[in-house]
Amino acid sequence: MNDIIISPSILSADFMNLETEIKAVEEAGAKWVHIDVMDGHFVPNISIGVPVVKSIRKKTTMFLDTHLMIENPEKYVEAFASAGSDLITFHLEAVANPKKVIDLIKSFGKKAGISIKPKTEAKEIFPYLNDIDLVLIMTVEPGFGGQEFMHDCAMKIPVIKENAPENLIIQVDGGINNLTAKICTSLGANSLVAGSYIYGSKDYKNAIISLS
Ligand code: DX5
Ligand code: ZN
């Protein structure tokens, strides 16, 4: 069985103690940390941006999984790459020419991901599956942590897996807990983002173990 990559979303962490919160999930066994960037336009919420990624990079060697929920992501790829993101995931719905954005991300030596919102069909991402490192399937409407998992979105996992190269990482984000995690991994996902489930638990290590 392949290992499941757990990516704790700091959106649900205590921002006053971000360094401690990131170290805590690392000590609890996470190798990745998920950073949700929101611009108040692509999604109805504003979160964090480049300076925070830069600060995080100085304090950890964890893999920085950056989820851009922003319009015109191509304008900010260089800034996030320089700030230390390892993976830059943008939304298919936010760009006119996805291939151009993928190439731009790769030109900085970074891994590229594309995310699709609940209403976007799986087949819309097929043309790009050979060019990216990760596909991120949203199982909530992007914008907020703590929402309920949308089961019908999980059905995109096998559809994408069937059309994807072997090494593509299939990540799911939104409403992941110990129960929904099993649904996603049994359907073929090999990376799970979890915010409120991990950061809302008393024991981060047990929470992470219960997802893999
Ligand atoms: C939502 C973000 C998620 C969010 C997930 O727009 O992309 O990464 O942090 O939060 P939970 O795990 O609480 O659904
Ligand atoms: Zn996210």
Mode of pairing for the β-strands spanning 5-8 and 32-38 = unpaired
Q: What is the pLDDT of residues 79-94, one digit of tens each?
A: 999 999 999 999 999 9
Q: What is the pLDDT of residues 150-177, one digit of tens each?
A: 999 999 999 999 999 999 999 999 999 9
Residues 6+ apart with CB under 8 A from 186: none
- Mean pLDDT calculated for residue range 15-33: 98
Tell me if residue 152 is catalytic.
no
Q: What is the pLDDT of residues 45-100, one digit of tens each?
A: 999 999 999 999 999 999 999 999 999 999 999 999 999 999 999 999 999 999 99
Q: Place 1 in a pLDDT band, splitting at 50, 70 and 90.
A: very low
Bridge partner residues of 68 (DSSP): 37
Q: How many whole angstroms from 147 Cα to the centroid of ligand 1?
A: 8
Tell me if residue 103 is catalytic.
no
Q: What are phi and psi of 90, to 5 degrees?
A: -115, 165
Number of H helices and E strands in the chain, helices first, is 9, 8
Residues with CB under 5 A from ligand 2 (ion): 36, 67, 173
- Mean pLDDT calculated for residue range 137-145: 98
Q: How many whole angstroms from 171 Cα to the centroid of ligand 1?
A: 12
pLDDT at 93: 98
Which ligand minimizes its atom distance to the CA of 144?
1
139's tokens: 């199982």
Mutate to test the pocket of ligand 1, among 70, 144, 176, 208 (most ligand atoms within 8 A of CB): 144
Share of the chain above pLDDT 90, in %: 99
Which ligand minimizes its atom distance to the CA of 117?
1
Mutate to test the pocket of ligand 1, among 6, 7, 9, 201 (most ligand atoms within 8 A of CB): 9
Q: How many whole angstroms from 107 Cα to the centroid of ligand 2?
A: 23
Q: How many whole angstroms from 50 Cα to the centroid of ligand 1?
A: 19
Average per-residue pLDDT for the chain: 98
Which one is catalytic: 65, 86, 173, 203?
Answer: 173
Mode of pairing for the β-strands spanning 169-173 and 134-138 = parallel
Pocket of ligand 1 (CB under 6 A): 9, 11-12, 34, 36, 67, 140, 142-147, 173-176, 193-197
> What's the half-sphere exposure (Cβ side, CA atoms, 13 Å) at 80?
29
* Global confidence as pTM: 0.98
